[in-house]
Structure 1
Amino acid sequence: MTKATDPATSFNLAAYVLAAGAALPDKVALSLLSGEAREDWTYAQLIAAVRGTATGLLDAGLAAGDIVLMRLGNTPDFPIAYLGALAAGLVPVPTAAALTAGEVAKIIPTLKPAAILHDVDVPCPDHAQIIDLAALRAMRSLPPAAFHMGDPERLSYIIYTSGTSGKPTAVMHAHRAILARRMMFEGWYGLTPDDRLLHAGAFNWTYTLGTGLMDPWTVGATALIPAAGTSPTALPDLIATHEATIFAAAPGVYRQMLRDLSPLYLPHLRHGLSAGEKMTAAVREAWEENTDTPVYEAFGMSECSTFISGSPSTPAKDGAIGTAQPGRQVAILGPKGPARTNTPGTIAIHRTDAGLMLGYLNDKKLTKSKFDGDWFLTGDQGMMDEDGQITYLGRTDDMMNAGGFRVSPLEVEETLLAIPGVTGIGVTEVEIKKNTRVIAAFYTAAAPIKEYTLTDFATANLARYKQPRLYVHVDALPTSGNGKIQRRQLRDSFEAQKK
């Protein structure tokens, strides 16, 4: 892979993130919010805790390059341990607290962590070296370690993505990946040092870790994080009470916030940010109507974070997710190269992008399969108009074939969500008998809805080839840890029951 930065440059991701805060020692870096109360961490306190943790991890016998698996909960301990490991030159691996001990045990043979950082409330298998939460907290008062400086191309951290197969895949990132996030500041956030960015996610979610913490700290802004267990319906009051200027969340959180929500007076809020899955037009319009602020959406993935977005300077057109962020090389590729304007294809990003992964851990074959010449293939479908605005069509694996037409489940889902009584919907193609596949809509509602109500609505609002031929009422839709609908799981579960 072509190197995106000068390998001779001495660099450390944690040092880069905390540099602005070092010049603002008394400024609040982090506020943990609970109603009107808050727990503040100044930049001086945060930096001391991070560098003390780095000292403690090295004193525990770990050395630069060692992998440390993170099994920590939704508390400030998570980002402090993460940055502490990076500062020491270790390779942290953040994982979702919701994983079971058995699920974590499956990744350990490939990962081979030198140690596990563990909160007793988070499931975790046995390991030769476990550093518990009490020990981690005690490290914060130790003398500060020097930042481990080196090649920005060296391995920095590893994150897991399940992809569409459901099999966890370890994605390796370099220290220089943090440099690509600068492109989001103007290309998505409109972020400044004076901002107070409230992220609704948990500390131990990578979306929160990047957008909610690392990025505000990189410019010397203040990060606001709701305490664990905060209801989405309580978030508007937190935005107002703590004078948040930017709000970030997944679309599902916006949906829950907007239930029975009356117009809000949020004088300090400039706009909202959304990522993790496609936001429906109905949710976007309801947010803008109730808050009198826009919401800017971003598209990304574990292999490259976000690189397409709308922003205050370049808003997305109706139906689009935005444009390539400044400095990004993005293309829509067809079978014979770049697709024509307004023609569907695979969203791709150039291999020289600073935010692109180093590769998949111990899987050179899979890494190679993701590239087509100089382009990394995301596995997502989209199309680009004459102004560079990109419309997202869904995962390649999720695209449906109806009578020779390619159909995006996102379009069908967004349309059918407007049916009175429907609270959630997932659309996929299922096999109902050998060699016969149809579009099926799995929906949640307080009670099953008359099928003619569903079919009449679809007939009035969708082209015939886009209309589901099967409607299934379910108690809940399967979702990933970040709220994305698992359409493959819907399909597999339905087909298994038919056998």
Structure 2
Amino acid sequence: MSTLYELLAGEDDQPALLAPGKPMLTYGQLRRNVREIASQLNQLGLGRGDRIALAMINGPELITTFFGIATAATAAPLNPKYKQDEFAFYYEDTAAKALVTLSGSPIPAAMAAALPGMKLLSVSADENGYCGLAVVSDGSSLPPPDPKPEEVSESDDVAMILHTSGTTSRPKRVPLRHRNLVASANNIRSTYDLGPSDRTLCVMPLFHIHGIVGSMLSTLSSGGSVVCPPGFNAMEFLSLIESFSPTWYSAVPTMHQMVLARVDRHAEQLRKRRLRFIRSSSAPMPPVVRERLEQCFNAPVLDSYGMTEASHQMASNPLPPRERKAGTVGYGHGVEVRIMDEAGHLLAPGEIGEVVVRGPNVVDGYENNPEANLAAYTNGWFRTGDQGVLDADGYLSLTGRIKELINRGGEKVSPLEIDDVLLRHPAVAEALAFAVPHKMLGEEIHAAVVLKDPVEGSELRAHCAEALAEYKVPKRFHVLTEIPRGATGKLQRINMAKLLKIGAADE
């Protein structure tokens, strides 16, 4: 397999896509539909190298259209909740030739931001779940372009354009080639021994690398089936488990916490529908959440580690009976993982430094961004921006994002350690330690908490002091109804002081 179309590996009559209230699509139907959408795009004058934006909610229509676009051209999945200015930025940055939305569910902001000459297309499914494209606007008063030859994308073609969600003011453009995505999907399939009998419940958004590769591509590469509801809803999670009997699901820790809050009372019911495993990625999993999740579902929870530039997965804990090490994100599966110092020297096990990776899943570089590439690549290794340490067996422990580490008067503090301690207090539902500017120390430590029950700050401080050195104990606690998250569920740690309007303090 070298392209996404070739990755659709299931037998013709095997179920590929399922969703609540929608007909099942087999692999044979999906492959035929993907080829037809690719042909329709070619007839509209769109082909290899053209970037086509997708703004749709999760569902079989999105998956089928994504594969059709990637087979004929290059897909640029976007969050359908973006504002008009955000859509305009991404269209311009990717030089999008067209936008595809779901028929009957217009996205005014996405359509209003269309660039001159962009085609507006809609996709709809018939009663059998078979998708087709329709032209909403050809974007030009000029005669329609000639059809493109029906060429299928090749291994080295860019299948998908995504953007980093890092701390820079301008997101970096990440060109993911077919060979990168296929390599990552195969790594994940191998990590978890996925096969035709497996079924994933896709709760991650399919504009994010975690959902696209971690849930969708990995499963379809194994011949298994993807259950794709229109979005994540913790209140409906149990009914989806009951209705579709998935064997696994993958999510960010905040989603796992929301699931736990809803299903605690149904533990016995869940054990009857036992999952083979649960996967967590895209953000650190607090140990206490992992423990509760395993108790509730009676299934192993596997911490993994991924990022967009590596086509998602870089490391993961393995399935039992192989050893899972608590507090680690496992080891590289088809990916080399090492630790590097600032000067570019690889470090020995036990030494802390920056996590670096290399492998066929890692992208060749950011698009049209030589400065970022110079900073990100050293001697063929990609610098992740994460700090960590490898043990003697190659298991990786992450100690935080280098830019998220709190420098309190010269003492480097990992906020993850504080998060975990706070989450172990019975009154705390969610916790996020973060840095605030301080005139003397440089940075001070505060923490935002969402509470289950009322509790005084003095009690939280005493709770932290029992497990943490004095300089790690948060100076202030901010009680919130919810902790701010980005579009993909990531906690906004770096921006918290700004979001809470906290200025520099003297003491």
Q: In structure 2, what is the equivalent of residue 155 of structure 1?
A: 158
Residues in 2 aligned to 1:268 and 1:290: alpha-carbon distance in whole angstroms: 10
Work out whether 1:16 is the aligned partner of 2:6: yes
**Deviations for 1:213-259, whole angstroms, at most 9, x for unmatched residues?**
2221112111122x225631432342243222222222222211212
Q: Which residue of 1 is the match for residue 145 of structure 2?
A: none
Q: Which of 350, 354, 376 lines up with 1:346 in the alignment?
A: 354
Structure 1: gaps of 5 or more residues: 1-10
Aligned ranges 1:66-81 → 2 under 5 Å: 66-81=50-65
Contact 1:29 1:40 survives alignment (8 Å):
yes
Q: Distance in 2 between matches of 1:328 and 1:75?
A: 30
> Any residues of structure 2 matched to 1:34-73 within 5 Å, and which?
39-73=23-57
1:409-431 CA deviation, whole Å, 9 max, x = no partner?
Answer: 11111111122322222111111
Higher RCO (Cα < 8 Å, 6 or more apart) = 1
1:324 pairs with 329, 332, 346, which one?
Answer: 332
Q: 1:220 aligns with which of 193, 212, 223?
A: 223
**Which residue of structure 1 aligns with residue 90 of structure 2?**
107
Q: 1:191 aligns with which of 191, 194, 200?
A: 194
Aligned equivalent of 1:307: 314
Letter in 1 for 2:121: D
8 Å CA contact 1:240, 1:268 repeated in 2: no
Letter aligned with residue 126 of structure 1: A
Secondary structure at 1:413's aligned position in 2?
A: helix
The TM-score normalised by the length of structure 2 is 0.87
**Could you tell me which residue of structure 2 aligns to residue 131 of structure 1?**
120
Q: Contact 2:199–2:227 at 8 Å: present in 1 too?
A: yes
Counterpart-to-counterpart distance in 1, 2:357 and 2:482: 35
Task: Give the deviation of 1:433 after TM superposition.
Answer: 3.3
2:106 maps to 121
Contact 1:17 1:215 in 2 (8 A): no
Secondary structure of 2:226's aligned partner: strand
Aligned residue pairs, count: 472
SS in 1 for 2:495: helix
- Deviation sequence 1:295-331 (CA, Å, 0-9, x none): 1111010100111101215443121111111x32110
1:482 corresponds to 2:467:
no
In the alignment, which of 329, 335, 339 is matched to residue 342 of structure 2? Answer: 335
Q: Which amino acid aligns with 1:371?
A: Y
Tell me how far apart the structure 1 counterparts of residues 422 and 26 of structure 2 sit (CA, whole Å): 47
Contact 1:85–1:92 (Cα < 8 Å) also in 2: yes
TM-score under structure 1 length normalisation: 0.88
Give the equivalent residue in structure 2 for 1:398. 404
Q: 1:31 aligns with which of 18, 29, 36?
A: 18
Code of the residue aligned with 1:192 in structure 2: it is G
Q: Is the 8 A contact 1:348 1:376 kept in 2?
A: yes
2:76–2:161 contact (8 Å) kept in structure 1: yes
Residue 369 of structure 1: SS of its match in structure 2? helix
The one-letter amino acid of 1:341's match is P
Amino acid at match of 1:348: V
Equivalent position SS for 2:424: coil
Q: Is the 8 A contact 1:12 1:147 kept in 2?
A: no
Quick one: which amino acid aligns to residue 55 of structure 1? S
**Does the CA-based 8 Å contact 1:190-1:311 persist in structure 2?**
no
Q: How does 1:392-431 map to 2 (within 5 A)?
A: 392-431=398-437
1:168 maps to what in 2?
171
Determine what percentage of the aligned residue pairs are the same residue. 24
Distance 2:22 2:160 in 1: 30
Query: Structure 1 pair 407/483, CA: closer, same or farther in 2 (3 Å)?
Result: same
TM-superposed CA distance for 1:495, in Å, is 5.3
Distance 1:258 1:435 in 2: 38
Deviation (angstroms), 1:166:
4.7
**468-477 or 440-449: which moved more?**
440-449
Alignment match of 2:185 (pick from 168, 178, 181): 181
Confirm or deny that 1:288 pairs with 2:294.
yes
Aligned match of 1:5: none
Q: 1:134 to 1:339 in 2, by over 3 A?
A: closer
